[in-house]
Structure 1
Amino acid sequence: MTPRRAWYVLAAALAAVLSFVTFLVLYEDSGSGEPSAAPVSLPLVPWEGGPRYYARFPAMAAAGWTDPSFFPIGVWYEAVTSQADVDLDKGAGLNTYFELTTSSKIELVRDNGMFAVPSHQPPGYGRETVGWLLTDEVDLWAHEGDAPWTGNSPGQGQICIPESALCGYTVLRTLRERLPPDDGRARYANFGFGMEFFIPEPLAARFLDYTDVASMDTYWYTDEGMCELSKTPAAVCRTAASYGFTVDRIRHLDGLDGKRQPIYAFVEVGFPFEKFDTEIAPAELAGAVMNSLIHEARGVIYFNHNFGSPCVSQHVLRDACGARIRPAVTEVNRRITELAPVLNTQSISHTFLPGMDTMLKAHGDAYYVFAMPGRGLAPGRHTLTLPPGMAAERAEVLWENRALPAGDGRITDDFPAEHSYRVYRIPR
Structure 2
Amino acid sequence: MAVHHRSRHPRQGARSISVLLCALLVVLAPMSSPAQETAAAPSLRDLPRIPWEGGADYWKQFPAADAAGWSNPAFFPIVAWYNGISSNAEAQYDKSVGINTYIGMDAATPYSLFADNGLYWIGPPLNGTFTAASRNWVGGFLDDEVDGRYSPAEGRAHLRQLSQAARTGGRFAYTNYTQSVLSKDMAPSDAEAYVNDFTDVTSVDMYWYTVPFCGSVPYRENYLIPIPQKQCRSASSYGTALQMLRQRDAADGRLQPLWQFVEDLNGGPGDQPFTADITPRQLQGAVMSSLINEARGIVYFNQSLSGPCQGGSIIRMSQVEHDFCGAQQVAAMGQVNALIKDLAAVLNSQSLAYSFGPGLRTMLKSYGNSVYIFAMADAGSSPGHRSFQLPSGVSGRTAEVIGEHRTIAVDGSGAFSDGFDDEAAFHIYRVQI
Same fold? TM cut 0.5: yes
Residue 248 of structure 1 contacts residue 295 of structure 1 at CA under 8 Å; is this kept in 2?
A: yes
Deviations 1:110-161 (A, max 9, x none): 211100102455322211110010011111111422xxxxxxxxxxxxxxxx
Residue 283 of structure 2 contacts residue 332 of structure 2 at CA under 8 Å; is this kept in 1?
A: yes
Residue 99 of structure 1 contacts residue 133 of structure 1 at CA under 8 Å; is this kept in 2?
A: no
Name the counterpart of 1:285: 283
Shift of 1:355: 4.0
Name the counterpart of 1:138: 146
Residue of 214, 217, 220 corresponding to 2:208: 220
3-state secondary structure, aligned to 1:260? coil
3-state secondary structure, aligned to 2:328? coil
Name the counterpart of 1:85: 90
Name the counterpart of 2:221: 230
Name the counterpart of 2:182: 196
Shift of 1:404: 1.3
Shift of 1:321: 4.1
Residue of 33, 49, 53 corresponding to 1:48: 53
CA 372–180 in structure 1, closer or farther in 2 if over 3 Å, else same: closer
Shift of 1:106: 2.2
Name the counterpart of 2:362: 358
3-state secondary structure, aligned to 1:296? coil
CA 242–137 in structure 1, closer or farther in 2 if over 3 Å, else same: same
Residue 100 of structure 2 contacts residue 120 of structure 2 at CA under 8 Å; is this kept in 1?
A: yes
Name the counterpart of 2:173: 187
Name the counterpart of 1:62: 67
Shift of 1:74: 0.8
Residue 100 of structure 1 contacts residue 118 of structure 1 at CA under 8 Å; is this kept in 2?
A: no
Shift of 1:178: 3.8
Name the counterpart of 2:199: 211
Deviations 1:32-84 (A, max 9, x none): xxxxxx81311000000001000000000000001011111110022222223
Residue 99 of structure 1 contacts residue 119 of structure 1 at CA under 8 Å; is this kept in 2?
A: no
Matched, 1:177 2:137: no
Q: Distance in 2 between matches of 1:119 and 1:247?
A: 27
CA 343–222 in structure 1, closer or farther in 2 if over 3 Å, else same: same
- Point out the more displaced range, 323-332 or 406-415: 406-415
3-state secondary structure, aligned to 2:152? coil
Q: Distance in 2 between matches of 1:212 and 1:229?
A: 32
Residue 166 of structure 2 contacts residue 172 of structure 2 at CA under 8 Å; is this kept in 1?
A: no
**Of the two structures, which has the highest relative contact order with CA contacts closer than 8 Å and spacing of 6 or more?**
2
- Point out the more displaced range, 319-328 or 188-197: 319-328
Residue 235 of structure 2 contacts residue 289 of structure 2 at CA under 8 Å; is this kept in 1?
A: yes
Residue of 335, 338, 347 corresponding to 1:334: 338
Name the counterpart of 1:260: 255
| Structure 1 segments of 4+ aligned residues over 4 angstroms from their partners | none
3-state secondary structure, aligned to 1:66? coil
Name the counterpart of 1:122: 127
Q: Distance in 1 between matches of 2:419 and 2:50?
A: 27
Residue 79 of structure 1 contacts residue 103 of structure 1 at CA under 8 Å; is this kept in 2?
A: no
Matched, 1:384 2:382: no
Q: Distance in 2 between matches of 1:113 and 1:233?
A: 42
| Corresponding residue pairs, total | 369
TM-score by length of 2: 0.82
Shift of 1:373: 1.1
- Point out the more displaced range, 118-127 or 291-300: 118-127
Residue 80 of structure 1 contacts residue 109 of structure 1 at CA under 8 Å; is this kept in 2?
A: no
Shift of 1:387: 1.7
Residue 222 of structure 1 contacts residue 272 of structure 1 at CA under 8 Å; is this kept in 2?
A: yes
Q: Distance in 1 between matches of 2:55 and 2:220?
A: 33
Residue 212 of structure 1 contacts residue 261 of structure 1 at CA under 8 Å; is this kept in 2?
A: yes
Q: Distance in 2 between matches of 1:180 and 1:133?
A: 9
Listed as ranges, the gaps of 5+ residues in structure 2 are 1-42, 318-323
Q: Distance in 2 between matches of 1:410 and 1:172?
A: 50
- Point out the more displaced range, 394-403 or 126-135: 394-403
Q: Distance in 2 between matches of 1:202 and 1:180?
A: 25
Q: Distance in 1 between matches of 2:202 and 2:144?
A: 10
CA 394–143 in structure 1, closer or farther in 2 if over 3 Å, else same: farther
CA 143–381 in structure 1, closer or farther in 2 if over 3 Å, else same: farther
Matched, 1:250 2:245: yes
CA 112–395 in structure 1, closer or farther in 2 if over 3 Å, else same: same
Residue 65 of structure 2 contacts residue 138 of structure 2 at CA under 8 Å; is this kept in 1?
A: yes
Residue 204 of structure 1 contacts residue 253 of structure 1 at CA under 8 Å; is this kept in 2?
A: yes
- Point out the more displaced range, 248-257 or 279-288: 248-257
Name the counterpart of 1:374: 378
Q: Distance in 2 between matches of 1:230 and 1:290?
A: 24
Matched, 1:404 2:408: yes
Identity %: 38
- Point out the more displaced range, 300-309 or 135-144: 135-144
Residue 208 of structure 2 aligns with an amino acid whose one-letter code is W
Residue of 416, 425, 430 corresponding to 1:425: 430
Name the counterpart of 1:29: none
Task: Please list, as runs of the form range in 1=range in 2, the aligned pairs for 1:294-313 lying within 5 A after superposition.
Answer: 294-313=292-311
Residue 226 of structure 1 aligns with an amino acid whose one-letter code is C
3-state secondary structure, aligned to 1:230? coil
